[in-house]
Amino acid sequence: MTFARSLFGFAAAVLSVLAFGSVARIVWGPTDADRAVALDTMNSLVIAIMILLAAAYDSVLLVDLSIVYGGLSFVATMFLARYIERRSRS
């Protein structure tokens, strides 16, 4: 195992801890908007983890998956924001 792979693995582990930390805000967030922001943050951290692991293991497939996951995450965040906006109006 090379030093670079170990460093990428350590960075991915730190980001994983941060992603699990945002689960607390999703579960116990005081408002729906806080929960939506925490979910978007967690999705961004998952994308960063996937990119780090792709660099560590020289995997183009993980890069492609992270791009698709990022697009789906963006669309889901937009739908969630629209739902929260409509619910707050009524």
Q: Helices 3-28 and 32-57 sit at what angle, rounded to 10 degrees?
A: 170
What whole-number distance in Å separates Cα of residue 75 and Cα of residue 57?
A: 28
Contact 47, 70 (CB under 8 A): yes
More confident residue, 45 or 1: 45
Which pair of structure tokens corresponds to residue 58? 């020289």
What whole-number distance in Å separates Cα of residue 79 and Cα of residue 90?
A: 17
pLDDT band at 8 (very low <50, low <70, confident <90, very high): confident
Q: pTM score > 0.85 for this model? A: yes
Asked if residue 79 has pLDDT above 90, the reply is yes
pLDDT at position 27: 93
Mean pLDDT across the chain: 91
